Each structure stands twice: as C-alpha cells, then as structure tokens.
Amino acid sequence: MPNPETPAERYRRLAEQCLEAADNFPHGEHRDALIQMAQVWQRLADQYAGTTTSLFPPTADKQPTVQQQQRVQAKDEDKDKC
C-alpha cells in the first residue's frame, strides 16, 4: 500500500522518533548518536520541504509481481503406502 506522506513529512517524523528515543537514554554516546540522527533527518526534511511528491508515487502502469509456488508430488511408491 503506498505511503501518502511526502519525503519532508516522513523525515520530520523520523527526526521526532529519534528525539523521543533519545529521551529514554542517559547522557552518553547512544543518546548523542540519536540526537545526531534526528538532526540529519531534520536537514533532509528541510531540503524536501518544498516538494509534494510522495515517497512512493503510484505505479498504475505496473502490475504487482506474482510468484508461483511449485507443489512437491509424491512418488508412485509413496502413493501406494497411503
């Protein structure tokens, strides 16, 4: 199912999630890394702020990929045992 949010919206949401996760860590490397990740997501959001394109644009002309499964057939000698 396509995601209707724009790249900027997604990046802001990810930045927010990083900051929320950082609140669960004491001061230190892990917390600092999450805060840095949030800053990167925010910069990306700022870069994409003017766009309205979806992260996953609709692909009406493409058909979904379908895989076929093969059945394993019992050997003749196995059929006789049943």
**Domain boundaries along the sequence of the chain:** 1-50
Question: How many whole angstroms separate alpha carbon 82 and alpha carbon 76?
Answer: 11
Query: Could you tell me the end-to-end alpha-carbon distance of the chain, in angstroms, rounded to an integer?
Result: 44
Its pTM stands at: 0.59
Q: How many CB atoms are located within 10 Å of the residue 7 CB?
A: 17
pLDDT of residue 79 exceeding 70, the answer is no
Find where tokens 């999450």 sit. Answer: 34
pLDDT digits (tens, 9 = 90+) for 7-61: 899 999 999 999 999 999 999 999 999 999 999 999 999 998 876 655 555 555 5
